[in-house]
Structure 1
Amino acid sequence: MIQDIKTSLQRKERFVHIFRYVISLLTFLIAQNKDIKISSLDSVEIKYHLDSLLKNQKSYSLEFHLNSYNDKKNSSYYKIIDKGKIADSLIFVSSSELHDRVVNQILQPFKKLFIGNQFSLAGENIKSKYYFFNNIPHFQYRLYNDQNLAALIFLEPDFQSFISGAFGISRINKQLDIFGELDLDIENFTKNAEQLKIFWQKNKSISQKMLFKYFYPHILGSNMGILVQIEFDSYNAFFTKSERKILINSFSPIFNNYRVGYTKGKIKSTNSGNEYGYDDAEYSAISISSYLDSRNNRLLPVSGKFYNLTIDGGLDKKNIFIKTNFEHQLFLNVFGNTYGKIKTVFQGISYLKNNVPKSRYLRVGGSSSLRGFDENSFSFPQFNIFTFELINKQIRPMQIKTFIDFGSNKLLNTKNYLYGYGFGFKQVNDKTVLSIDYSLSSYKWQDG
């Protein structure tokens, strides 16, 4: 099913770009062979009429050539010629500071394009390519040296850097235990549009998770980026897991942002873990990823869509496995300032000839997945979550929402499922992000 979704999305994107190209080509060819009839031979009237036509055209290189005239009919005929114009200079206009090598890559798609419609299409691709652009660029054109054309490209990056955390202390049998989580996100700290994420989480049991993630969009000023991710996980004193992932990132209008790389991980079970059926594992895999983010805002989105598909295929010792992670978000305007968010998440792992080891089960539950339940309350070889949120956008940068999450360990399972529901709000200021959800949980479980 996941492969069908991926194929459908790719075909849709490919069809859109081919359709736009064909329409642009046909428009250009028709325009080249179309005559304009003006019922006048007076030069002032002709100029006024042609100027009016130019104002309604998106092309900046349109010319009208006299083709013929008829004294008896008091008419003149002009041929439309669009030679196309490539900007002599590109100027990046932004209030954020970026290194020249990053700016050069942002401007690269515009360097050999005709100004006008082709610039607009390239602008849409730029918004899809870079995580820090929420809006399509707008353009202005200026003449310099009487005959050279400069294109001004206005883009405002939306870099987000923040630190958040919640901590608690418990005392059991005269021993103090610290639990909570810390999330550090920093962007563009060396002016290279990079991302750094450090995450730590520990619950009241002795489960703990640490994550280091670093993304650099342009290696040595090239069009290729790199993602490095290191993860450490300990689960209830049953086992520890370490995983390293390195991916090369690129972009194409058909496949959007795509990444290809290598994943290597190791699971070491404890004595008590072995007693409960948690086995050791040492695995490596080829990782392929594709994602698209067209949301209008990363922190408070109300329009656009987001999807991410990652597939790992490899060996656990001598056993072949495939691991899939899919997420899709869609935002719709319901009425006025009220919006709907539909979110689908699927994660699964399967082994070709063996059962999935218990130590490689996927854990679900908590504020980041299935609200209303404790963190990592459940573990399955696969699970899917369907979420619907009703969002009310306030005048200040704040959202009030109601939500319901449905979770199941099988696709399209109407007999056995978990669900959490509640309400919350999220407020974003210049220096703080405040998000609070209140949720309850229930379930329907008939068998299994």
Structure 2
Amino acid sequence: MKNNCTLFLLLNIYTCFFFGIQAQELSLSLKAEKEIPEGVVDSLQLPASYKDFISLKNETDTLHLKLQRMGFIESELLQLKKENDSSYTAAFFLGRKYNNIKVYYSEKDFSKKELQHVASQIDSSYFILPFETIPTALRKLTAYRNAKGNAFARVRLTAFNNTGAGNLSATLLIENGKLRTVDSIVLKGYEKFPKSYLKYYAGVRKGKLFDQKKLLAQNENLNSLGFVSSIKPPEALFREDSTTVYFYLEKEENNLFDGILGFATDEESQKLTFNGYLNLELNNNLNYGEQLLINYKSDGEKQINFKTKLTLPYLFSSPFGLSGELMIFKRDSTFITTEQQLRSTYQLDTRSTLYVGYKGYESSNLLDEVIAGIPIEDFTSRFFIFGGNYKKPQNRKLFPVKTAIYLDMGIGSRKQKSESEDQIGFTSVISNIFNLNYRNSLFVQNSTSALFSDSYLINELFRFGGINSIRGFDENSIDASLFSVLNTEYRYQFNDGVYLHSIIDVGYFENQTISLKEKIYSFGLGLGLNTKAGIFRFNIANGNRQNTPFNLTNTKVHISISSKF
């Protein structure tokens, strides 16, 4: 029994001693032929301790490279000395610290504009770099060469010389790989994807210089279409005499539907009436990129708004497209206006589109008798229209468009009875999202429309108000010959599916038929949810007019949901 106790005690002592040795951490200190500046020691970021000698030795070996990158290119590890069981000292020869390097280059390799991204002092034959920035600068210059089709190009420094006063000179050497162009394009996953979008919308074309960074941006452009998504980033297969680019795409269901329809019988006419709204978008069902839009809104009493639009992009695999639009607006028993529009579009680049076309109006007075002070008459208008739009996408599911610009100009005339009057119409919508960080962003949009004419009719004026213009007011409740609305939202995004936002809208409008000029504004809150049924938006806003006291009864609730199928 005594022997067993002695053996147990010895085993415990051995175990404690073994784990004590194993748990002992090592420390490393530095010394040199001169005092090492405190800033240099901080930049080296030495660990406070090391778990074993191998870790300590590896750190010592990397210190030499760190010192060289800091400008001590003559540095050398002289000795790694063990002071005691837990501490070591690394003795270095530092030598002179070189602060800058003068790099000689050829203007045929890099332009001054490119060099401005890596250096501040640039001459026609050389530029000066702080020593610490050399690795970053060489990586950027290499990326510029790769973007010019030299996928395997490398940039390095050679022919170093000591120019005195703590400075060096070197020559920039370009090792050019074989110039690469996109020789073929292969689609994987969605083989029926409309190739015209690849060529004109994304900008991917055969014969263009290969640029991996640009391919990633073009892939993001495709993601912004809505009816297609990228499974993974594009890849390239380099053969001796060709380069093949692979895009991995997947078709997305991008048809949208939302609406509520009601039926009722008019008490006076005993006719069946509809109320509610319907919004239907059919996108890319024929794998052509086409779009069919049908929109219907009715409150059952005051107004009916119907719109249908057909868009056919890239006709005959060209950058030209066509779109046709029909709109019908009826206000109770006052008037009805029909608008027809035909456009020919041209894809200028991956983000911009120009168009020219025709727009016509026909309006009828439904009143049985003329009411004094209400200029509503039958008329027809014809306009030649031209304009364009610009869209910059971003990789955010809830907010896929970062910047959007839409400009429209129309020149024409209005025919009323036997009289004709020249008119000019203008519309612009400009919006941008300022991303402060992932969760916080600021959305700003301005919408402006103006009709320039010697006289005006109520049934030819612009109509605005509601969730898509200034919130806190009834849909299309304000008539204007000129209006400008500024919408702002401060958005807080909880995650990829939920966000909360403020509503601050300010507007100004003129109605020349009644000589009215007025400012309006609204305040409120909104909520957005990305649900399985679609994107649900709930806005509550209070709209007020200038010099009018706040009234809670002016609060409006706007609800919309867009369901994909």
State the TM-score, normalizing by the size of structure 2. 0.60
Give the Å deviation of 1:25.
12
For the residues of structure 2 that align with 1:204 and 1:227, how far apart are their CA atoms?
30
1:362 maps to which of 462, 472, 490: 462
- Alignment check: 8 A CA contact 2:181 2:206 kept: yes
Cα distance, 1:181–1:76 mapped onto 2, change above 3 Å: closer
Cα distance, 1:93–1:430 mapped onto 2, change above 3 Å: farther
For residues 89-108 of structure 1, the aligned pairs below 5 Å read: 89-93=184-188, 95=190, 97-100=192-195, 102-103=197-198
For residues 24-423 of structure 1, the aligned pairs below 5 Å read: 58=146, 59-60=150-151, 62=153, 80-81=175-176, 84-93=179-188, 95=190, 97-100=192-195, 102-103=197-198, 109-116=204-211, 119=214, 123=218, 139-144=234-239, 146-153=240-247, 160-168=254-262, 173=267, 177-253=273-349, 256-272=352-368, 274-275=370-371, 276-296=374-394, 300-301=398-399, 304-317=402-415, 318-351=420-453, 354-409=454-509, 416-423=518-525
Secondary structure of the corresponding residue to residue 370 of structure 1: coil
Secondary structure of the corresponding residue to residue 394 of structure 2: coil
For the residues of structure 1 that align with 2:216 and 2:369, how far apart are their CA atoms?
55
- Alignment check: 8 A CA contact 1:183 1:200 kept: yes
Equivalent AA in structure 2 for residue 421 of structure 1: F
Cα distance, 1:178–1:126 mapped onto 2, change above 3 Å: closer
- Alignment check: 8 A CA contact 1:102 1:221 kept: no
For the residues of structure 1 that align with 2:340 and 2:545, how far apart are their CA atoms?
36
Equivalent AA in structure 2 for residue 244 of structure 1: Q
For the residues of structure 2 that align with 1:160 and 1:219, how far apart are their CA atoms?
21
State the TM-score, normalizing by the size of structure 1. 0.74
Secondary structure of the corresponding residue to residue 218 of structure 2: helix
For the residues of structure 1 that align with 2:495 and 2:181, how far apart are their CA atoms?
42
For residues 17-28 of structure 1, the aligned pairs below 5 Å read: 23=113
Cα distance, 1:273–1:409 mapped onto 2, change above 3 Å: farther
Residue matched to 1:13: none
Cα distance, 1:101–1:173 mapped onto 2, change above 3 Å: closer
Q: Does 1:436 align with 2:538?
A: yes
Give the Å deviation of 1:399.
2.0
Give the Å deviation of 1:270.
1.8
For the residues of structure 2 that align with 1:273 and 1:401, how far apart are their CA atoms?
48
Q: Considering Cα pairs closer than 8 Å and 6+ residues apart, tell me whether 1 or 2 has the greater RCO.
A: 1
For the residues of structure 2 that align with 1:217 and 1:182, how far apart are their CA atoms?
25
1:339-364 CA-partner distances (Å, limit 9, x unpaired): 1111111111111xx21222211112
Cα distance, 1:358–1:54 mapped onto 2, change above 3 Å: closer
Secondary structure of the corresponding residue to residue 286 of structure 2: coil
For the residues of structure 1 that align with 2:434 and 2:246, how far apart are their CA atoms?
32
For the residues of structure 1 that align with 2:395 and 2:253, how far apart are their CA atoms?
11
Secondary structure of the corresponding residue to residue 307 of structure 1: strand
Which deviates more from structure 2 when the two are superposed, residues 165-174 or residues 257-266?
Answer: 165-174
Provide the aligned length of Structure 1 versus Structure 2. Answer: 396
1:125-145 CA-partner distances (Å, limit 9, x unpaired): 96699686899x95422124x
| Structure 1 gap segments, 5+ residues each | 1-19, 35-49, 69-74
RMSD over aligned Cα atoms: 4.2
Give the Å deviation of 1:182.
0.4
Give the Å deviation of 1:327.
0.7
Secondary structure of the corresponding residue to residue 300 of structure 1: coil
Equivalent AA in structure 2 for residue 220 of structure 1: F
1:94-132 CA-partner distances (Å, limit 9, x unpaired): 658424555565677522221127945983996699686
- Alignment check: 8 A CA contact 1:237 1:273 kept: no
Give the Å deviation of 1:163.
0.8
For the residues of structure 2 that align with 1:21 and 1:187, how far apart are their CA atoms?
45
For the residues of structure 1 that align with 2:535 and 2:291, how far apart are their CA atoms?
18
For the residues of structure 2 that align with 1:355 and 1:128, how far apart are their CA atoms?
47
Give the Å deviation of 1:222.
1.6
Give the Å deviation of 1:389.
0.6
Give the Å deviation of 1:202.
0.7
- Give the number of the structure whose alpha-carbon radius of gyration is greater: 2
| Structure 2 gap segments, 5+ residues each | 1-109, 127-137, 160-169, 512-516, 549-565
For the residues of structure 2 that align with 1:254 and 1:193, how far apart are their CA atoms?
15
